[in-house]
Structure 1
């Protein structure tokens, strides 16, 4: 026998072994392989669906993120506007308070100046009263002596009063 012509017994046993292996593989192997392939196919399909859902959720999250950023920007702008308004209000209040304080200080200074003026006038009146008493006393002392001397003395004393009251230099005639 040659290599290209098999014997009938060998052919029978090879066919029987092939049939048995084919039957066993067809009965027990193929269903497991087909089931594994189907499971893998379902896993891949569910993974693709999950990936599509994840992509969709990601785009929704991106949209939500953009919306939140726009809201945050609008809120920031509102806060900045409110802060600017508050700053302007505080500056206005500070200016008003400074103006009131300045007016109060000016009024206090005027009142103090008026009080000082009044004190100076009282002092001047006292000085004039003292001078009048002194003039009267001197006139009474000299009255006994001479009337013309009394008139000259009164004029001189009046000049002195004017000089001390107005701060001018007056010389007797």
Structure 2
């Protein structure tokens, strides 16, 4: 207190510098708080910070591993996609070749069937022509024998005679027809 009075009497104290005892009590309190923080709080804070740093580093490592794995999966998918595209192109080409072969096979089958139909038609026409010729020959022969019988005045019912007469008559007709065509 005396020091305070002396100081108060002689000079004025600076407002920035606290009085000595207050400074001493403040320094002791600061040392206690600092010691408490250094021994109790600082290790806990460092522990939390270390755990957080490890978690972040582990997360980064996990993210890098996941990114590496994703990249390898992406490459696999790209390879599979390229393989699928190649397979699709091969299948398209194979289908095109099969379609062309099938078209050629159907064309050949159609040609064969057409030729069979034409051959059957020619055979049928020849058979019909022969049948018509035979029927015409018989009709003309019958008419010729009836007419000849009426002209001659005798019956030509004898079958052998009738056949010879018909054959001779038709032979003469064919000769006339062929000589008329040749002109």
What does 1:3-152 correspond to in 2, within 5 Å?
Answer: 3=14, 5-141=17-153
Deviation at 1:128, TM superposition (A): 3.1
Corresponding position of 2:173? 162
Deviation at 1:166, TM superposition (A): 4.1
TM-score, normalisation: structure 1: 0.75
Deviation at 1:76, TM superposition (A): 0.8
Deviation at 1:167, TM superposition (A): 10
Distance 1:63 1:109 in 2: 68
Distance 2:105 2:139 in 1: 50
Deviation at 1:46, TM superposition (A): 0.9
Q: Deviations over 1:58-81 (max 9, x none)?
A: 221221122112211211121112
Paired residue total: 154
Distance 2:61 2:17 in 1: 57
Distance 1:63 1:18 in 2: 63
TM-score, normalisation: structure 2: 0.71
* TM-align CA RMSD: 2.9
Structure 2: which 5+ runs fail to align?
1-6, 8-12, 155-164
Q: Larger deviation: 64-73 or 127-136?
A: 127-136
Q: Indicate the structure whose relative CO is greater, using CA pairs within 8 Å and at least 6 residues apart.
A: 2
Distance 2:105 2:39 in 1: 96
Distance 2:141 2:17 in 1: 169
Corresponding position of 1:150? none
